[in-house]
Chains A and B, each alone.
Chain A
Amino acid sequence: MHVGVISFPGSNGDHDALSNLEADLGASVRRIDYRETSLAGLDAVVLPGGFSYGDALRCGAIARFAPVMAELQKAALDGMPILGICNGFQVLCEAHMLPGALLRNETLRFHCHWTHIRIEQTGTPWTNNLAAGDILRLPVAHGEGAFYTDDEHLAQLESDGQIVARYCTEAGEVTPDANPNGSVANIAAVCNEQRNVVGLMPHPERATNELVGGADGLRLLKSLLNQTVVH
């Protein structure tokens, strides 16, 4: 299993992803510079958290035009598993590889704490190790994580099964209080129609070992190991 992690100028979650995918998942990893134009030899790609291009204009708006993104679009069409975490999620939305957009948190505060999410869609390469209704405890660290889509598109996402996870209480109830940022319908993660591209605001790569306070992120990332490995 060869996993690439894209480093954009301003990414800061790339090293967490690289070291934890290697140490705790057992994947072989490669840092991909944003200027690279080939993803050859990779089975999956992660777009990490951070502040690509200093969040200039809008989060993810400039990273979308990085040279590596053209290749990523092609790989997505070919079915490669792609995961955008936090800023990576924002980049994938700006690139129109995922639906919706991420807005400023409703509280206007940067939220850095543990949350719970309830898994809904397990038919993605990033969640197939989980069961629908599973509750994961994962950390968030973002100022602009309020998922937004209008009512019409929300209904479409619901009926197409593109909502991968929602913020919930520890007991798994999807309540307004469990929603840290004002996301519509408590949405924490979505996928594209083909299911191979997933974006989520919480950080599974920062919860891969009890040593760092939790290992629920590893349960999610282990889904990758069910993938047919080409490389």
Chain B
Amino acid sequence: MATSLQRWIIEAEIMPKQGVNDPQGDSVLSGLKLLGFSGTERVRVGKLIRFDLRAASQDDARNTAREMCERLLANPVIEEFELAVHAAGEEG
């Protein structure tokens, strides 16, 4: 019997690892300070990759997405990632 596949929306948040220099974050921080936002001490700039994925369950979707991050979307030498998995339709 064929397993029915559901469509999931994955958000992969990819950030520079701790200890990895992030000059872009440092520049954004100095920009914020110049604008008078004095309460911020640390800025890190990463990226968000949103994509859809067909999978039988949320766990399957998460596992596939993790493998995608490990093999392509993030570089483990310099980046770490976190995944959010939503059923498609929860958002546009």
Residues of chain A at the chain B interface (Cβ within 8 Å): 57-58, 61, 65, 93-94, 100-101, 103-108, 146, 148-150, 182
Q: Mark B49-72, 1 if CB is under 8 A from A, else 0.
A: 000000000000000000000001
Q: Specify which chain A residues have a CB less than 8 angstroms from the CB of B75 in the assembled complex.
A: 58, 61, 94, 101
Q: Do B20 and A148 have beta carbons less than 8 Å apart? A: yes
Q: Do A57 and B20 have beta carbons less than 8 Å apart? A: no
Q: Measured between alpha carbons, how far is A99 from B80 in the docked complex, in Å? A: 17
Q: Do B72 and A104 have beta carbons less than 8 Å apart? A: no
List of 3 A-B pairs having minimum Cβ-Cβ separation, nearest first: A101-B77, A101-B78, A106-B23
Q: Mark B12-40, 1 if CB is under 8 A from A, else 0.
A: 00000001110110010000000000000
Using C-beta atoms within 8 Å of the partner chain, give the interface range for chain B: 10 to 19
Whole-angstrom distance between the Cβ of B46 and the nearest chain A Cβ: 12
Interface hub of A61, A100, A103, A104 (most chain B Cβ within 10 A) = A103
> Known contacts A61-B72, A61-B75, A100-B77; is A106 also within 8 Å of B21 by CB?
yes
Q: Do A148 and B24 have beta carbons less than 8 Å apart? A: no
Q: Do A148 and B23 have beta carbons less than 8 Å apart? A: no
Whole-angstrom distance between the Cβ of B75 and the nearest chain A Cβ: 6
